[in-house]
Amino acid sequence: MALYVDSAWLDDVAQVCRDFPVTGITTNPTILLAALERGQKFPPEELARQLLDLCPGPVFLQPVADGADQLLAAARNYMAIDPARIVLKLPMTADGLRAGKMLHGEGARIAYTAVYTLPQAYSGLLAGAEWIIPYFGRLRRAGLDACARVGEMARLLRVQHAETRLLVASLRSPEDIIEATMAGANDITAQPEVIRALVQSPLTNDAIATFTKDWQGVQQGLQQS
């Protein structure tokens, strides 16, 4: 089981990687655009290097291009930064599969993203993906049973005795994380605010306040004795 932070905003990533048991970082073009619109202006390759410095685990990057050959070129640019730690998120399309097969043969770490169906998961598995990435929230918003679909994908990987892992994304709350995990997710990626919310509870706050008050009483009692 691994937890990844789904962000490219360096301050958020640094804080979450410092405070929480986070294994690595996932990004996509939408996340890169959000960071850019907040004023963080780094070329993608430079941003990738900075993300690698913030966390010791994998950093997922998503090349975008028209056609398999262009996708290969974009993916190789990312791969060259750190082949051991960069994971290439490829689209679950014919071009993505073609590029992925070649990249896998070159030793690249591959994930297929935006995987919604069992046949897509099966295709990614056969293409040598290290991760299959379904979108939990998008499945649910489409009117599908997200937990059931994640569970079916997890079973598919088990019956094939696959080393491919199920990395579930598009999780909007701690409850989503737990649902996806209990449905069969191997790994989870979530935005910084969702990860921070994992440890939040009013009951915990009340208990800590009581402990703090009582500890003050202990200290005062010792001073008076």
Residues 6+ apart with CB under 8 A from 177: 171, 188, 190, 194, 198
- 10-66 confidence digits (pLDDT tens): 999 999 999 999 999 999 999 999 999 999 999 999 999 999 999 999 999 999 999
- Classify 56 as helix, strand or coil: coil
Average pLDDT, integer, range 81-92: 97
At 223, the pLDDT band (50, 70, 90 cuts) reads confident
What the block records as the tokens of 135 is 């979108």
At 114 the pLDDT is 96
CA distance 14 to 51: 9
DSSP string, 60-121: EE----SSHHHHHHHHHHHHTT-TTTEEEEEESSHHHHHHHHHHHHTT-EEEEES--SHHHH
- 132-182 confidence digits (pLDDT tens): 999 999 999 999 999 999 999 999 999 998 899 999 999 999 999 999 999
Q: Which of 41, 89, 101, 213 is catalytic?
A: 89
Angstrom CA distances, 10 to 49, 53, 58, 65, stand at: 11, 10, 15, 25
pTM for the model stands at 0.93
CA distance 115 to 165: 13
pLDDT over threshold 70, residue 225? no
The DSSP output letter for 108 is -
- Classify 142 as helix, strand or coil: coil
Residue 89 designated active-site: yes
Q: Which residue segments constitute the domains of the chain, with CATH numbers given?
A: 2-224 (3.20.20.70)
**Average pLDDT taken over every residue of the chain:** 95
CA distance 87 to 78: 9
Is 165:187 a contact under the CB 8 Å cutoff? yes
